[in-house]
Copies of this chain bind each other. A is one copy, B any other.
Amino acid sequence: MFNKSMKTLLTCELFKGMNSAELISVLTCLNPKVYSYKRSELVAMEGDQLTGLGIVLAGDVVITRENAVGSRIIIATNGPGGMFGEIAAFAGNYIWSDTIIAREACKVMFLPGEKIVGSCENACVSHKLMIANILKIISLKALMLNKKIDYLVIKSMRGKVCAYLLEQFKKQGKQTFVMPLKRNELADFLNVSRPSLSREMGKLRDEGVIEFHRASIKIKDLNTLKTLAE
């Protein structure tokens, strides 16, 4: 069980390039804390004081943000090896900028932010590597946010749905695939209402562009889909 977590951690971008021994040495230095959460449980709350950098060891979490009115948006989802709270932790902004919720039973490791960026005597070699990793992580995060903006800028329901389906197709490499998000999650991800999303998907189905049942989707007319995605 502990070994399983170690394997997951070795796949984490933060520890990239390290072997087991180095990882253990770094970890003992960083004083990590592991917590478990049940399905739908709150892992972190937007605005609260930062617990630290979060690394998912098992399960799935959703990174969301909500405004005063109550409409929420899904920024991303994270499986094992995924991180959250990087920006706040590395930027020294010790407040959660997002709300994190467990999609299912999951286990999360927290690393205190100050320790990561600050210097450390015990694991200096690995620490230098970590700084390089951090630079890459933040850059990738920024690129991800850029992409997120691209989604939000699309104005029509149809454009959003098609752009999303097209990206899933590119990511999964098959025209028949399972959607990683439930309908209301997808609605929150695209920043639209669920009934409107279902309505549009129904239209696309009627027009013969796609076919679907619940989470499984089949792209029937890829070319049309590409056109519609702008």
Chain A residues close to B by CB (< 8 Å):
65, 67-69, 71, 73, 75, 87, 90-93, 97, 131, 134-136, 138-143, 145-146, 148-150, 152-155, 159, 191, 230
Contacts and interface: CB of A to CB of B under 8 A. Distances in A.
Which residue, of A139, A148, A230, has the highest number of chain B Cβ atoms within 10 A?
A: A139
Contacts of A141: 142
> How many copies are assembled?
2
Secondary structure at the A interface, as helix, strand, loop or mixed, is: helix
Nearest to A138: B138
Given A87-B143, A97-B143, A148 B150 contact: no
A93 B143 CA distance: 10
A131 to B, nearest CB: 8
A65 to B, nearest CB: 7
A153 B67 contact: yes
A140 B139 CA distance: 11
**Across chains A and B, which 4 residue pairs bring their CB atoms closest together, nearest first?**
A91-B139, A145-B145, A152-B152, A68-B230
A138 B68 CA distance: 28
B142 A138 contact: yes
B230 A69 contact: yes
Nearest to A140: B91
